[in-house]
Amino acid sequence: MKPDIDLARDAASGQEAAFEALVRRHQGAVRGTARRLARHAAEADDIAQAAFLTAWRKIASYRGGSFKAWICTIAYREFLQARRKRKTEVEFDEGAHIVAFDTSAARLPEHLDLERALKTLPENQRICVVLCVASGLSHAEAATATGFPLGTVKSHVNRGVAALRKQLAAEGAA
């Protein structure tokens, strides 16, 4: 299997097939990250698609390291943009209603438990857990992506992880 860095180099030289291989390899992580951040699956897939299209344009700026972390950081930025846009739309549309978080992506019972547990976390804690635990960013990378101080990211991750474990254990025991 060709390493991500080689595929990215080929993609940067315009080879669509190399980029397609990267999409195929990392689609789960990006879609998963987007679904954990966004409100529902359709919005999450739009975010994931936008992230890959941005990655295609910026692929030459990928300098190595974890490709998954790089692309998930782009997905997080796309999520922020989508949320900003949504807020503006809600401000102008008084009749708009908030759609509940869609859990259709979760198929297995343990996935449902994880989704449910993740939803109970405060937003900033959930973002840090998603980026560091699910998407594989280091604490420093997550701090850069979110703009939170490094200590805050560590604290959010530690508390979030503890809360997730507690909930999963409780649901497992029930």
Partner 1 sequence: MQSEEKYDDLTALFEAQDAALDSEVFVDRVMQPIRKRARWRGPLLFGAGGLGIGAALSQIGGLFDILSVRAASLTHSFDDVRPGSLDFSTFDPLWIGAVVIMVMSCVAIVASERT
Question: Which residues lie near partner 1 (CB under 8 A)?
Answer: 12, 14, 16, 19-20, 23-24, 27-29, 31-32, 35, 45, 48-49, 52-53, 56-61, 105-108, 110-111, 114, 132-134, 136, 138-139, 154, 157-158, 161, 164-165
Least Å from the CB of residue 111 to partner 1: 5
Closer CB to partner 1, 1 or 108, in the complex: 108
The 10 Å CB-count burial string (b at 16+, else e) for 133-152 is bbbbbebebbbebbebeeeb
Least Å from the CB of residue 29 to partner 1: 5
How many C-beta atoms lie closer than 10 Å to residue 21's C-beta?
Answer: 18
Least Å from the CB of residue 133 to partner 1: 5
Closer CB to partner 1, 96 or 122, in the complex: 122
118: tokens are 């993740």
**CA–CA separation, 4 and 41 (whole Å):** 27
> Cβ(95)–Cβ(134) under 8 Å?
no
